Amino acid sequence: MSMQFKIQIPIRKEKRGWSQMETIVFPDPTYINMLKQWCKECVGVNGWNYFGQYRKVPYEFRFKRSEDLLAFKLAHGL
């Protein structure tokens, strides 16, 4: 069984400064660590995987079971 159920943590774009140039705001590393800790405690060691910032699809969590993905979404409001 592969990791076929996935969700990407959203990346925001904001306009900052007087020039109103659009900048990308990445998720906070402490927030990502909190999500990883939740997965370790609630899903288990081999039921999930995380792909970080420097990937083609960044900030992506993958799960083996659809129930785990649903619990992740409900627990964190995604």
Give the tens place of pLDDT for each residue, 27-44. Answer: 888 989 999 999 999 988
Length of the chain: 78
Alpha-carbon separation of residue 3 from 7, 8, 19, 51 (angstroms): 11, 14, 43, 12
d(CA 40, CA 62): 13
2 pLDDT tier (thresholds 50, 70, 90): confident
Let me know how many helices (H) and strands (E) the chain has, helices first. 2, 5
pLDDT, the chain, mean: 86
C-alpha dihedral (30, 49, 3, 40), degrees to nearest 10: -90
**Which pLDDT band holds residue 17 (cuts at 50, 70, 90)?**
confident
Condensed to tens digits (0 to 9), the pLDDT of residues 44-74 reads 888 899 988 888 888 899 999 899 999 999 9
Three-class SS state of 50: strand
Section 4-15 average pLDDT: 84
Q: Is pTM, for the whole model, over 0.85? A: no
